[in-house]
Structure 1
């Protein structure tokens, strides 16, 4: 007798690592925060698709999208779940699990939970057990999220450690935070515990929900709450208000950690962006004045210097918003006093040394530094370059020298190409032609987005080619390589250069490569640009 295995009867989670086990292992091996990879990445995103940063899809939907709508498919899911609670078999679990994989809950999770609560056939005890199983054993993120959300309907102290572990990963922090808030008396303590573990969208969700119930929490909000791997602007106003920044900076003296944290908050408030900014902050005049006062004795780093420069630019900017500001606490005298204090501080000669040390820190690019030290050096380098530009300091040669150590650092190419000196542009181009792996880049047109560490050379090429439209005839080899790159952005930037140059400046290699691209280009919009250029040549 021959036995045939029916794949449809196999459990969707069989033979796969559960997400909870994966997160536990990461926490044990590297602590927190943990990286964003999950064992279901390939199944969830699909090959070649744009991938959101961990928690990014839910975060963007929660902050910038309208709520979802309950659909018949979602009601069917709730019906399957009710059957599962009445007859909790493996077969029923498989059916519910598969339905979860097929159903996009989108922004409708709250509506689905309401449907669960009012379903007449839903049994509370078995539902809790299935929710815990989904959260603990599922190998797919959306099943885990649904399990966590269901646990939020219950007193869930018994699964607190499970929720804290899952919440340590940005992809699940939002769901764990809501569940912990709804299901325990000390939910705020749990949120604070999690907030100190995560960095990214998870931190945004937690800080937004965290209540400043103790001095310790308020101190943390001011010192560490705002700095994040996802736009500090999301949390600046939240931290300033909840942490009572105005009261903290009103002191005669402040400690270094508070001044550093205030620097992050003030800079993000001035930047504006996706959340409330400086014009939404009731204590803005006082905080700006007190920050500048403390900066007179405490400003020491390029990052802190950049905040003073941003404050000066804000105060000096003549726009229509000042009329509203004067009606909301600002005064002409206060604005002028802050401006004068900024000018006096910026006139000190020490800033040249601070900026140059930030631009060229000892050991930059060497392998003998810890990752944390490298990270801090890169942050200071970024601010050093920004301050140099604002102060009129020429650091081009220092940056060019760093290319020898970091030939695949796209930010260096970006900064170096921000020059009107044609000779300097040629030096960058000649270096790139010699050092970038142009043959490996020019593998043929495809629909790659060019994201991730495997595309560092392509990103470097972007930073150069995007500026070549103003430099006729310079960088032809780079343009030819970009035309044959699998990264769509490379090809589009190269075509933009050719659209700006006269045909006689292209050269034979570029012209031949463009003709070849006309036969190979897979993207319709890019193909149309190629066709127009070829018509121009023929014409």
Structure 2
């Protein structure tokens, strides 16, 4: 009987990208290890929660132990040492110690075999069957100067399409000055945490990117609540609202942005938006020629009513009248 060997995480992502035309959007790929009796998280969710809600405290002893294991692996890779590294990273997710770990390695870089470090990074990215080991491999690659055509860097670009690895891939691509194009690619190809990380780190350099952020940036389900203010700033929301006319696609995207801004859920939104009252008034004006969102108009009306320093009280009455007409 022939034993079927489970493909590595990279192999699964590579094949899925090949089958789906360089995107994982809509794919059923599920690579996050599930444990019976524990909370189940979507790809990238656990790291996102750490970043936005819990901070990244770390144990210094864990950093020292992992540095020693990586140093040993840079000289001689054994299954036993890889398993020890995996055990450490299973107990302590790498997102919680990435910065101090990289700092500790850089401070002792002369103790490492540079060629072996590259080979270890490539092995962890390519051959690992657990997500934390893949992240470790991606992270180690940020310490290595790679050309844009480098095969390892190409693999890191590929795994970055999966939400669990997007943030780590972008950090390594930034270290090698090749991240912004992939930021945009990841943002367009994801509806999950990968989109949140990609838009957050995206540098807007042209109108195509700006238009996309306005029209599509916050159309991403529940996670859009993390992106409202970022999309308003990077997409230059105020500029679009000042247009005489906007398209239906622009209006729908702007509606989604305002919905996130007005929620003020996990991150602050409308309260930090410059000229918020005027921007809401401009949105109301555009809503007269488009399909208005009762939900957004209601949230805007309720928010405006509690603004004690509001100079133009007329805008409250205008929202109230618009809601009355829609009832």
Same fold (TM over 0.5): yes
**For 1:163 and 1:28, how far apart are their aligned partners in 2?**
15
1:136 matched to which residue of 2?
126
RMSD, matched Cα: 2.2
2:56 matched to which residue of 1?
67
1:88 matched to which residue of 2?
76
**For 1:56 and 1:36, how far apart are their aligned partners in 2?**
16
Superposition pairs of residues 274-285 of structure 1, within 5 angstroms: 274-285=266-277
The runs of 5 or more residues in structure 2 that have no matched partner are: none
**For 2:256 and 2:156, how far apart are their aligned partners in 1?**
30
**For 1:311 and 1:66, how far apart are their aligned partners in 2?**
31
1:100 corresponds, among 80, 86, 102, to: 86
- Whether the 8 Å CA contact 2:57–2:96 is kept in 1: the answer is yes
Superposition pairs of residues 11-90 of structure 1, within 5 angstroms: 15-30=5-20, 31-35=23-27, 37-39=29-31, 41=32, 44-85=33-74, 87-89=75-77
**For 1:210 and 1:97, how far apart are their aligned partners in 2?**
36
SS at match of 1:231: helix
Shift of 1:36: 6.4
Structure 1 residues 207 and 336: CA distance shift in structure 2, 3 A: same
Superposition pairs of residues 129-528 of structure 1, within 5 angstroms: 129-156=119-146, 157=148, 158=150, 159-184=152-177, 186-299=178-291, 304-315=293-304, 317=305, 319=306, 322-323=307-308, 325-326=309-310, 330-340=311-321, 342-343=322-323, 346-347=324-325, 391=327
Q: Which has the higher contact order (CA 8 A, sep 6+)?
A: 2
**For 1:24 and 1:229, how far apart are their aligned partners in 2?**
26
- Whether the 8 Å CA contact 1:45–1:51 is kept in 2: the answer is yes
- Whether the 8 Å CA contact 1:135–1:144 is kept in 2: the answer is yes
**For 2:225 and 2:163, how far apart are their aligned partners in 1?**
18
- Whether the 8 Å CA contact 2:62–2:88 is kept in 1: the answer is no
- Whether the 8 Å CA contact 1:299–1:305 is kept in 2: the answer is no
Moved more, 201-210 or 65-74: 65-74
**For 1:240 and 1:308, how far apart are their aligned partners in 2?**
17
1:125 corresponds, among 82, 92, 115, to: 115
Structure 1 residues 165 and 34: CA distance shift in structure 2, 3 A: farther
Shift of 1:144: 0.2
Structure 1 residues 49 and 35: CA distance shift in structure 2, 3 A: farther
Shift of 1:97: 4.0
**For 1:243 and 1:84, how far apart are their aligned partners in 2?**
45
**For 1:94 and 1:130, how far apart are their aligned partners in 2?**
14
**For 2:117 and 2:26, how far apart are their aligned partners in 1?**
30
**For 1:231 and 1:66, how far apart are their aligned partners in 2?**
19
Shift of 1:259: 0.5
TM-score w.r.t. the length of structure 1 is 0.55
**For 2:58 and 2:193, how far apart are their aligned partners in 1?**
24
**For 2:255 and 2:87, how far apart are their aligned partners in 1?**
44
TM-score w.r.t. the length of structure 2 is 0.88
Larger radius of gyration: 1
Shift of 1:165: 1.4
Structure 1 residues 241 and 283: CA distance shift in structure 2, 3 A: farther
Instruction: Give the 4+ runs in structure 1 shifted more than 6 A.
Output: none
Shift of 1:143: 0.3
- Whether the 8 Å CA contact 2:66–2:88 is kept in 1: the answer is no
